[in-house]
Amino acid sequence: MRPLLDLTKEYGLVLDGGGARGAYQIGAWKALKEAGVKIAAVAGTSVGALNGALICMDDLEKAEKIWSEMEFSRVMSVDDEWMRQFFQGEQKLGDILSELRRILREGGVDVGPLRRLIRENVDEDRIRNCGKEFCIVTFSLTDFKELKLSISDIPEGKLEDFLLASAYLPGFRNEPMEDGRRYIDGGFVDNVPADVLAERGYTDLIEIRIYGPGREPGVKLPEDGEIYRIGPRVRLGSIIEFDRERSRQNLKIGYYDAKRMLYGLEGIIYYIGQEHTESWYECRMRDLTGMEKRALAIVLKLPVSATDKELYMGMLEASAKIMRVPKYCIYTVDELRREVRERYERLADFETMAELPDFTDQFIKIERDRIMDLKGRNFLTLKDFTPEEITYLIDLAADVKEKKKQGIPVDHWRGKNVALIFEKDSTRTRCSFEVAAHDMGMGTTYLGPTGSQMGKKESIEDTARVLGRMYDGIEYRGFGQEIVEELAKYAGVPVWNGLTNEYHPTQMLADMLTIRENFGKLKGLKLVYMGDARYNMGNSLMIACSKLGLHFVACTTEEYFPNAELVAQCEEYAKESGATITLTSDVKAGTKNADVIYTDVWVSMGEPDEVWEKRIKELSPYKVTKDVMANANKDAIFLHCLPAFHDLKTKIGKEMGERFGIEDMEVTDEVFESAQSKVFDEAENRMHTIKAVMMATLGMEQA
């Protein structure tokens, strides 16, 4: 996932007071730190000042250790067990009153342990030399004056005193400093010191809120300034509940709440990455009447005017909570609904199921009604499939990939057999189909370029009718799309396109899965295809992108642009998904801010040798180089469906190198072997996505 924040900027961090809830701030800082957010200044009040000191020291491990080992007695001179019993409601009223009287007689709660905690863990020199501006807020009772102090305003060796001064809550034993002044918690005058940083010229602020009691003065930022807020949606406990279990929980909540802000996650209870459009939700909710939707909104405590998306997400989250799906994890919508469905199906006890709320049963019914039924379908081109169906196949591929990684068998198709027709040789497609079929428990028959009489002594129609009576599915890899279309017309069993001149749909699923694995989403990404965009790869990528909401760019000369009729068709798909289609010969403009740079061989299988010279001459400006990748986004990835001419280690590569004086063609070896290159992840994913296609079209009820 990519953070929504501009990571080239430096931010001011604002930490409010809230006592024992402070663990939340350290959890949030951890997420900011992991995302690469640069912090230029920190301003804190009370516990926010203490946490700010730890953040300026840049010692996450120490900060986490302090809070994960937190006890009442590390802050106050109290008995831990007595305090735990108090918060659990186990102390008698008489004992509580007696303890309060004792504390009052002694002048308040002794916070000597807090001073020791600060002394042992806060390195003043390190903070002064950290390169960040550090500010705290306190209030002088002696002078009746608010103090907004930068580290440079605090005398050397006195940071410990002022950190304690910022945190003196009422009820704490308030000892005067050496100068005779007494101070109280800065929250009384400014518990959210965003103004402290704004006054010092910081315009982009991040607030980590724990909502302790205190005054919250307003803050004015310039028009180009912005405040980003991280705050809890659940109770963090009392401000004096210094309990390690509570603190560990708050660390976790802060971490995920920060991720919610950073990555624009949705959800009220859960942390959900959104990958569906409003129309997807409308499709799932279409069978509910207006009255049913209003009743559902009332039960879920949503406005009666709630949208289909809001209703569905409300049902999903509430059902997930009932099914005890772990909260502190980032899910996609599809992952969370799959988890709910699986847990529901495991409920065998009728009484337990009877206790479920109506909306959970309603949710499961919606899900069951919308499960994709692709049994018996041919897989010839992605033009034949809806965005939802394509996404379903990608999801299924991700699922079977995880099962293979965990060693979970999916061999429920024993007894079935598939024919693999290869009029063009292949490494990845053949191996992917064979391994996928064997994993599923199926037998395979490979029919190579000379392995059948199809199209020679026997018509395609007759071959299809023969194979369809012997096999449960047929794969074809060869030449014109009309061949695989005719096979599909007469076979009577699912036919799968392993590649034709026009389309390569199984490759598309692998590509989309690879992209989603790297970015956590597909919609809104920019994919640039460089080279010859007239044939199967350019065509298929344009179709896949336009259906799934990716911005597609064909970057090549006008001669190599995709077919105008297909472009127009894809532009119609794009209107529905929010994608765009761009054709350009300008490499600089075309690859600017790209997320994916894609290319393929310049001379396709079956093309004559004489085209090599022409292609090399005309397409060399569109070679994927280090400069091309540098012009894309910094986290852009490189994809290639393989084989690739990136060096001279092949027979043809060596021959072309000697003939034309080149060391590579469509991509440099530097890019191909770089960390940005995901070509072998992509190659592996061919097998998982092909397995998903066969599973879905042969019938998932077998699983």
- Would you please indicate which residues are annotated as catalytic (active-site) residues? 477, 504, 507, 600, 641, 686
What is the CA 249 to chain-centroid distance, rounded?
Answer: 23
What is the CA 446 to chain-centroid distance, rounded?
Answer: 39
Give the pair of three-digit tokens for residue 537: 């790869």
Q: How far apart are CA 353 and CA 340, in angstroms?
A: 13
Question: ∠ at Cα 32 (31, 36), nearest 5°?
Answer: 115
Before 643, cis peptide (omega within 30)? yes
Give the pair of three-digit tokens for residue 52: 């700010």
- First and final C-alpha spacing in the chain: 32
Q: Are 603 and 611 in contact (CB under 8 A)?
A: yes
Q: Which amino acid is present at 573?
A: Y
Q: Which amino acid is present at 251?
A: L
Q: Which amino acid is present at 285?
A: M
Strands in 382-494 per DSSP E:
417-422, 443-447, 473-477
Strands in 152-254 per DSSP E:
183-185, 204-208, 226-230
Nearest alpha-carbon partner for 25 in 263, 184, 206, 270: 206
Give the pair of three-digit tokens for residue 586: 């300008």
Tokens 């640069």: give the residue. Answer: 38
Contacts with 25 (C-beta within 8 Å, 6 or more apart), sequence order: 15, 47, 48, 51, 208, 210, 254
Strands in 248-362 per DSSP E:
271-273, 330-332
Q: Are 7 and 35 in contact (CB under 8 A)?
A: yes
Q: Which whole-number Å values give the CA distances from 163 to 50, 137, 176, in the listed order? A: 6, 9, 13
User: Burial, 154: exposed, middle or buried (Cβ in 10 Å; 0-12, 13-18, 19+)?
Assistant: buried
Q: Which whole-number Å values give the CA distances from 371 to 320, 367, 391, in the listed order? A: 18, 6, 12
Which helix (DSSP H) or strand (DSSP E) does residue 61 occupy? helix 60-68
In three-state form (DSSP H/G/I as H, E/B as E, the rest C), the secondary structure along 584-614 is: ECCHHHHHCCCCEEEECCCCCCCCCCCHHHH
Q: Which whole-number Å values give the CA distances from 684 to 433, 509, 511, 690, 691, in the listed order? A: 12, 12, 10, 10, 12
Nearest alpha-carbon partner for 24 in 163, 149, 207, 169: 207
Which residues lie across from 552 on neighbouring strands? 527, 581
Q: Which whole-number Å values give the CA distances from 577 to 7, 99, 332, 512, in the listed order? A: 28, 65, 18, 15
How many beta carbons lie within 10 A of that of residue 168, not counting itself?
24
Give the pair of three-digit tokens for residue 247: 């603190």
Nearest alpha-carbon partner for 536 in 415, 356, 671, 382: 382
Strands 330-332 and 38-45, how do they pair?
unpaired
Q: Which whole-number Å values give the CA distances from 512 to 3, 377, 407, 544, in the listed order? A: 21, 21, 24, 8
Strands 526-530 and 443-447, how do they pair?
unpaired
User: Burial, 31: exposed, middle or buried (Cβ in 10 Å; 0-12, 13-18, 19+)?
Assistant: buried
**Ramachandran angles phi, psi of 375, nearest 5°:** -60, 130
Q: DSSP letter at 277?
A: -
